[in-house]
Amino acid sequence: MQCAPKWFVRCLLTAGMTLLAGFNPLCGEESDFSGELPSIPGKSPDESLKAIRLKGGFHAELVAAEPLIRSPMGMTFDEYGRAFVVELPEYNQYASPAPHGKGSIRRLVDTDGDGRFDQATVYVDDLDYPTAVACWNGGILVGVAPDILFCKDTDGDGIADIQQRLFTGFGQDKAGEGMFNSFQWRFDNRFHIPTGLDGGEIVAVADPSQADQKIDKPINVRGQHLLLEPRQMTLTATSGGGQHGMSLDRWQLRGFVCGNSEPVHMIMYDGRYLSRNPYLQAPAAAINIAPEGKFTKLMRISPVEPWRILRTRLRSQGAIPGSDEGGSASGFFTGATGITSYQGDAWPNEFLDNVFVGEVANNLVYRARLEPAGVGLTAHRADAEAEFLASSDNWFRPVQFANAPDGTLYVIDMYRQLIEGAAFLAPQILKHMDTSAGANQGRIYRIAPDGFQPKPVARLGDLPTVELVKLLEHTNGWHRLTASRLIYERQDSAAIAPLNAMAKSSSSPLARIMALYSLQGLSALEPSLVISELRSDDPRARQHALRLAESFVDRPDVAEAVVAVAQDNELSVRYQAAFTLGAFPAQAATTALSQLALKDGADAWMQLAILSSVGDRRGEFFTQLLKNPQTRQEPQIRKLLVILAEQMGAANSKTELTQFLKELNSLSESPADHSLAVELVRNVVNKHSSLGELLDGTAGGKVHSILATMADEAEATAQNESQATDARVNAIRTLGVMPFDRVQATLANLITPREPQPIQAAALETLSRYDSDNVAAMMIDVWKSQTPPLRATSVETLFSRPQWIGQFLDAVSDNRIATAELDPARIALLKKHQDAKIRERAEKLFAGATIDRRADVVAAYQSSLEKAGDVERGRALFRKTCAACHKLEGVGESIGADLNAIKDRGMAAVMLNILDPNREVKPQFFTYVVALESGRTVTGMIAAETANSLTLRKSDNTTETILRVDIEEIVSTGLSFMPEGLEKQLDVAAMADLLAYLNASK
């Protein structure tokens, strides 16, 4: 649903942007476009219903509309079939002088059983931007950032009289649904809570009556989701991603999320497994599985809004910033939201587990079918000729869905004239728009097969617990999940016997699995039932049985059964087994992991699962992989050995390193084994520089010989100017294994200006590994001769330790370094440093430093748009200046924004982004300051996040992976990772050349 990126508001607040002032330096005087922006009127509920076009065999039915509801954006059903709807009239109102009322949770009831809601009460009112709701214990959990509330009606009037704060710390951003949303009940007795884009530092509220009291260490949920155990009210972080919407498949083995521009992402692993191996660097858990992603062709039937056409034209002309998407104003994903897997029984079976995504900007619902692809899935378009659902009503905004008690799918239509975030519209357009139009309207539709007849909703809350157990076999997902939740809520021992019977004899493998989880929730799960299900004929049941087996790690019979399943014929089962084996400490589990490595280790996801399970038995696993001469040279085994060597070096465990040395000394003298040994030693020392002490001979045997030879060769190669640059760079990095006093003079020579830039950069990088005051002095001595990229590397190092910052400030004070030579953003960071002395010195030294007026810089370069630049010179400039972060024509790094089809954006807009990178910043390109528990700070763009680490791309284009346990604080600067001041490297003529090349790129 969020069409207004949350970063926009932050830029306004943190970077001092003036975009909303209504003037753009590229436009000159402000233009009046009112004649091109006629207002499109809304429709009545009945008229809007008639505007819907559905796949053959289906029709839409209106089940609720204004005045019963207003601005609905989420809903859930309780055990009596009553709907609790999240109302968000505040959406898009942050720019308005008077917001259109606060949000609420409204309860809807169908009192006459005709399939339409006819009674509404405001269950919870006066909520500041609610975004999620779920039923629990006779009440509801409400997501209203920064809090999760529990609200309950105890006197039967339909209005909650209890309101408790349970957790706090979730991020807030009223530009759209960047906040947490889409609470989902899982039959493993947890609520799954997606945290959206805003993340947060989450803590439990100690006493609900005391709002300021908190307990527990905060959980950082940047890039993660949460699992809420509702009886004890405890939170656990797990893998996450996505923006607005999250869904689980029928078996709850696959999680799906979406983002504005990418309709279907799949969550590939549970981040809780990664915590067993804190040195494991993992890719993002949520990956795009829609082959065409954003550029999936959408078949809208509504007319394109005039404001979209105008915006595209202005962008093409460079009059306003932003991509014109090749001149197309619509027809592709820009507002994907509410991803939902169909779980009902009213539709034909072929639709089960199909994924539905609302595209609010194009007034339609997209459907994808899922097909296996390795251990993952691919989401293919399911409807070839027309969308599953499309409306000709421009106000139709399908923001969310709900699997309903009647087995159908409900579509939640927020119904707004403008769904695009107001902050994302140029002021020339925005001033003619009514951002509140539709705030008091909204519709909910039932999507039913032709001939469908609604039935009275079963009142599950009135059923005895033994009857709830039977519903685990129901064909409708709502019945199964609601029964699962109620069984866990009630904690009724009367459920144990029928659950055991179901687990043993039900013909439904899904029901058997749900029975096992319910027994686990009642503390009554017997390991024999898990062992039995590990031998199930259904591979999905075997996967769940593996997860359940993790509760019985002390049972040899369970461990034996798990090890056996590791040889399963199904790849998906082996993938889960690779994760589960990490819970079992037995030697047999380690052996099973080594067998999986040989069979499936070439698959990157299997490799991740195996390494997550290795945990603190890296040495044992390393020995297993290395001992077989026939298999240790297999590519996947060799790769795993190299990764294990890196992890052992990073872990710095004496036991592991001793085992490492022992195993390497036992290798043969064959060329293949010698090559392997050298590679392994190199990877250990690259992660653990203090191994230089082994050069004195304590390593013994082969390893000492390798280290000594490596050190001698590194010194010789690093200083040999006739050697290839790449060879010298690798040698310089190897110098970091040696004591500082041995390499200090060599590195001092290598950072002088007579050396090529890559050599100097490698030497600076190696120096950063040593904690010596001499390092700062060496860098300051060569500062005057350094190019801007080298200074960036020096600054990264100098700013990483407080004592080095002090030496740097001394140099500024002594005029050895000019204040104008430092990036304004760096000055701002110094003035906010944790150390009070550094802050005070920075305030005095840089009292007159101001950030350049970007508008003046942009104006000064306007003539480059008129010049006929040279494409070849521009190509060379790109590769010199831009390729470190951007890739084009197969050259460069894909770190910054995607430059494919960049010429379609208009060169004026491109130049604006180059010269004023903070004008329009996507959240993934923000610069962050990460303060570590050690007192060191690292600054850069977050390139990747996992459950146990994040990777920063620093301004000198090196990366550093940081464990979450080492992080004290993460703070966004609100500034782009792309630096300001590129005009210092590009004069007007050079800019014309660069733009000519970008405009000619294919």
Q: Considering only CA atoms, which of 172, 202, 192, 350 is closest in space to residue 257?
A: 192
Instruction: Evaluate whether 72 touches 414 at the Cβ level (below 8 Å).
Output: yes
Higher pLDDT, 435 or 379: 379
Q: How far apart are CA 14 and CA 923, in angstroms?
A: 13
| Percent of the residues in the chain that have a pLDDT greater than 70, as a whole number | 85
Q: What is the mean pLDDT of residues 978-993?
A: 73
> Residue type for 772, please?
S
Question: Given its phi and psi angles, is residue 661 left (phi above 0), alpha (psi -120 to 50 degrees) or beta?
Answer: alpha
Is residue 641 pLDDT above 70, yes or no? yes
Q: Are strands 336-341 and 286-288 parallel, antiparallel or unpaired?
A: unpaired
Q: Exposed (0-12), middle (13-18) or buried (19+): which is 985, by Cβ within 10 Å?
A: middle
Q: What is the largest CA-CA distance in the chain?
A: 89
Q: Considering only CA atoms, which of 145, 153, 151, 148 is closest in space to residue 163?
A: 151
- Helical H runs in 534-634? 539-549, 556-565, 571-580, 587-600, 604-614, 618-626
- Residue 728's alpha-carbon distances to 19, 413, 980, in angstroms, are 48, 62, 32
Listing from the earlier edge strand, what are the strands of the sheet with 967-976?
A: 959-963, 949-953, 937-945, 926-932, 967-976
**Structure confidence at residue 630 (pLDDT):** 85
Which pair of tokens denotes residue 575?
């993938």
pLDDT, tens digit (0-9, with 9 covering 90-100), for 691-712:
555 544 455 577 778 877 888 8
Q: How far apart are CA 81 and CA 404, in angstroms?
A: 8
- Strands (E) across 817-923 are located at 887-888, 891-892
Q: How far apart are CA 95 and CA 624, in angstroms?
A: 62
Q: How confident is the model at residue 640 (pLDDT cuts 50, 70, 90)?
A: very high
- Minimum mean pLDDT range among 41-50, 305-314, 504-513: 305-314
Q: What single string gives the DSSP state of each residue in 668-712?
A: -SSHHHHHHHHHHHHHHHHH-GGGGGGGGTTT-HHHHHHHHHHHH
- Residue 210's alpha-carbon distances to 124, 171, 204, in angstroms, are 20, 21, 12
Q: What is the mean pLDDT of residues 889-899?
A: 61
- The DSSP secondary-structure symbol of 981 reads -
**Structure confidence at residue 5 (pLDDT):** 32
**Structure confidence at residue 734 (pLDDT):** 83
- Residue 294's alpha-carbon distances to 330, 332, 339, 1001, in angstroms, are 11, 6, 15, 21
**Structure confidence at residue 494 (pLDDT):** 98
Q: How confident is the model at residue 338 (pLDDT cuts 50, 70, 90)?
A: very high
Is residue 214 pLDDT above 90, yes or no? no
Is residue 222 pLDDT above 80, yes or no? no
Is residue 557 pLDDT above 60, yes or no? yes
Q: How confident is the model at residue 92 (pLDDT cuts 50, 70, 90)?
A: confident
Question: Given its phi and psi angles, is residue 442 left (phi above 0), alpha (psi -120 to 50 degrees) or beta?
Answer: left
Q: How far apart are CA 221 and CA 242, in angstroms?
A: 13
Which pair of tokens denotes residue 859?
């104006």
**Structure confidence at residue 961 (pLDDT):** 78
- Helical H runs in 720-863? 725-734, 740-750, 757-767, 773-781, 788-798, 802-813, 824-830, 836-845, 854-860
**Structure confidence at residue 301 (pLDDT):** 97
Q: How far apart are CA 258 and CA 263, in angstroms?
A: 5
Q: What is the mean pLDDT of residues 891-903?
A: 58
602 HSE (CA, 13 A, CB side): 4
Q: How far apart are CA 829 and CA 551, in angstroms?
A: 47
Residue 46 has phi, psi (to 5 degrees) of: -70, -40
**Structure confidence at residue 896 (pLDDT):** 58
For the stretch 682-720, what's the b/e string if a residue is b when 16 or more beta carbons lie within 10 angstroms of its beta carbon?
Answer: bbbbbbbbebbebbeeebeebbbebbeebbeebbebbbe
- Helical H runs in 142-245? none
- The DSSP secondary-structure symbol of 659 reads H
Q: How far apart are CA 941 and CA 972, in angstroms?
A: 9
Instruction: Evaluate whether 393 touches 48 at the Cβ level (below 8 Å).
Output: yes
| Percent of the residues in the chain that have a pLDDT greater than 90, as a whole number | 50
Q: How far apart are CA 917 and CA 915, in angstroms?
A: 6
**Structure confidence at residue 100 (pLDDT):** 61
**Structure confidence at residue 10 (pLDDT):** 30
Q: Exposed (0-12), middle (13-18) or buried (19+): which is 72, by Cβ within 10 Å?
A: buried
Higher pLDDT, 891 or 517: 517
Helix (H, G, I), strand (E, B) or coil at 285: coil
Q: How confident is the model at residue 209 (pLDDT cuts 50, 70, 90)?
A: low
Instruction: Evaluate whether 956 touches 962 at the Cβ level (below 8 Å).
Output: no
Torsional sign, CA 99, 101, 105, 107: negative
**Structure confidence at residue 8 (pLDDT):** 27
Residues 6+ apart with CB under 8 A from 414: 1, 71, 72, 73, 88, 91, 360, 397, 399, 438, 442
Higher pLDDT, 392 or 943: 392
Q: How confident is the model at residue 902 (pLDDT cuts 50, 70, 90)?
A: low
Q: Any idea which residue has 């959980």 for tokens? A: 219
Cis peptide before 454 (omega within 30 of 0): no
Is residue 932 pLDDT above 90, yes or no? no
H-helix or E-strand spanning residue 192: strand 190-193
Q: What is the mean pLDDT of residues 444-469?
A: 95
Is residue 853 pLDDT above 80, yes or no? no
**Structure confidence at residue 14 (pLDDT):** 30
Is residue 396 pLDDT above 50, yes or no? yes
**Structure confidence at residue 695 (pLDDT):** 46
pLDDT, tens digit (0-9, with 9 covering 90-100), for 941-974:
777 666 667 787 776 667 777 776 677 777 666 5
Q: Any idea which residue has 């519209």 for tokens? A: 425
- The DSSP secondary-structure symbol of 90 reads T
- Strands (E) across 128-171 are located at 132-136, 139-144, 147-152, 162-170
**Structure confidence at residue 21 (pLDDT):** 31
Instruction: Evaluate whether 162 touches 177 at the Cβ level (below 8 Å).
Output: no
**Structure confidence at residue 700 (pLDDT):** 57
Helix (H, G, I), strand (E, B) or coil at 638: helix
Residues 6+ apart with CB under 8 A from 515: 469, 472, 499, 500, 502, 503, 506
pTM of the model: 0.82
Q: Considering only CA atoms, which of 231, 235, 378 is closest in space to residue 293?
A: 378
- Minimum mean pLDDT range among 2-16, 163-177, 262-276, 376-390: 2-16
Q: How far apart are CA 458 and CA 716, in angstroms?
A: 81
Name the most confidently modeled range: 231-240, 400-409, 832-841: 400-409
Residues 6+ apart with CB under 8 A from 493: 522, 524
Q: How confident is the model at residue 493 (pLDDT cuts 50, 70, 90)?
A: very high
Torsional sign, CA 445, 450, 455, 458: negative
- Residue 8's alpha-carbon distances to 5, 73, 181, 311, 983, in angstroms, are 6, 22, 20, 17, 24
Q: How confident is the model at residue 420 (pLDDT cuts 50, 70, 90)?
A: confident
Higher pLDDT, 731 or 886: 731
- Minimum mean pLDDT range among 30-34, 53-57, 509-513, 564-568: 30-34
pLDDT, tens digit (0-9, with 9 covering 90-100), for 131-172:
999 999 999 999 999 999 999 999 999 999 999 999 999 987
Cα 515 from chain centre: 33
Which pair of tokens denotes residue 340?
């939902």
Which pair of tokens denotes residue 467?
């009857």
- Minimum mean pLDDT range among 283-297, 380-394, 812-826: 812-826
Is residue 586 pLDDT above 80, yes or no? yes
**Structure confidence at residue 898 (pLDDT):** 54
Higher pLDDT, 302 or 331: 302
